[in-house]
């Protein structure tokens, strides 16, 4: 992989969890039930952020590692979580 294609880490320290994480290696979950199921399945919550949807409604964004999300997303979609 060339140097142009490598992303520099964008490290963020969560004010909620205190965890230092790379935003480029994280997955954002917008559905509270999905976040709950990920947590129940053992995924580590990296952060929670306030946000807005396309209509401007307030919501929370739950941040998980891309690895945890990649393992759990197929189970979520198949309604097995």
Query: What pLDDT sits at residue 68?
Result: 97
Query: What pLDDT sits at residue 38?
Result: 98
Query: What pLDDT sits at residue 25?
Result: 95
If 0-12 CB within 10 Å is exposed, 13-18 middle and 19+ buried, where does residue 16 land? exposed
Segment-wise mean pLDDT, segments of 10 residues, the chain, 81 residues: 68 97 96 98 97 96 97 97 92
pTM of the model: 0.86
Residue 63's CB is within 10 A of a number of other CB atoms, namely 23
Residue ranges of the domains in the chain? Answer: 26-81
> 17: closest CA among 55, 43, 51?
43
């Amino acid at each position: 992989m060339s140097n142009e294609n490598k992303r520099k880490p964008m490290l963020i320290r969560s004010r909620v969890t205190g965890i230092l994480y790379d935003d480029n290696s994280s997955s954002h979950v917008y559905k509270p039930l999905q976040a709950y199921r990920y947590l129940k399945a053992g995924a580590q919550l990296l952060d929670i952020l306030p946000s807005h949807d396309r209509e401007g409604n307030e919501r929370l964004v739950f941040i998980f590692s891309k690895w945890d999300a990649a393992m759990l997303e197929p189970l979520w979609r198949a309604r097995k979580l």
